[in-house]
């Protein structure tokens, strides 16, 4: 795939809006070699382990999976040779992982900027999934407001970098860009 045919897309929406399904279908319809970059850390959480297993089963065997909770930009820069598209699911969990590692806001936003650069530099297509968490009320807790703000800034930065941005609601896509 040449640099000219490369596509980038950010798919945002609420929980259970159809973001992942839409993104997987988008990649499957366009690319033979697909790599799913999972940012989830299931740990000892049995319910999350079940979700991860269901996602893998639903994607099928023709997807390569890379589990990377922190260094997404490094994956895009260094592991593109055997894929036509990366599907990063999801940026919101990635931000959570960084927050749980006690990264400062400045460090997190630097990583978001680095990811935006990696998307531009990556010679293959990239699809990214993120939750839209800014549609509700202002959270009462400082950590929740910090998380909401970082997620919004991340989505803005990555959305500006992508060729397409799609908002999902009730399983339906609304094309923003």
Cite the active site residues: 55
* Nearest residue to 39 via CA among 76, 69, 74: 69
77, 117 in Cβ contact below 8 A? no
What is the edge-to-edge ordering of all strands in the sheet holding 8-13? 63-67, 34-38, 85-89, 125-131, 8-13, 164-169, 172-175
Q: How many CA atoms lie within 13 A of 133 on its CB side?
A: 22
| Cα dihedral across residues 77, 82, 86, 89: positive or negative | negative
């Amino acid at each position: 795939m040449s640099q000219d045919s490369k596509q980038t897309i950010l798919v945002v929406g609420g929980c259970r809006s159809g973001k992942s399904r839409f993104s997987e279908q988008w990649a499957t319809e366009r690319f033979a070699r697909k790599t799913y970059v999972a940012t989830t850390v299931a740990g000892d959480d049995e319910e999350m382990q079940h979700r991860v297993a269901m996602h893998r089963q639903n994607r099928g065997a023709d997807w390569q999976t890379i589990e990377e909770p922190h260094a997404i930009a490094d994956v895009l820069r260094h592991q593109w040779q055997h894929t036509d598209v990366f599907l990063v699911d999801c940026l919101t969990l990635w931000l959570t992982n960084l927050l749980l590692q006690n990264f400062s806001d400045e460090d997190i936003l630097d990583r978001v900027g680095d990811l935006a650069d990696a998307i531009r530099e990556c010679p293959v297509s990239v699809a990214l999934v993120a939750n839209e968490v800014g549609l509700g009320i202002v959270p009462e807790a400082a950590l929740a407001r910090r998380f909401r703000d970082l997620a919004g800034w991340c989505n803005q930065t990555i959305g500006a970098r992508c060729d397409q941005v799609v908002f999902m609601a009730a399983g339906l896509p609304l094309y923003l860009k």
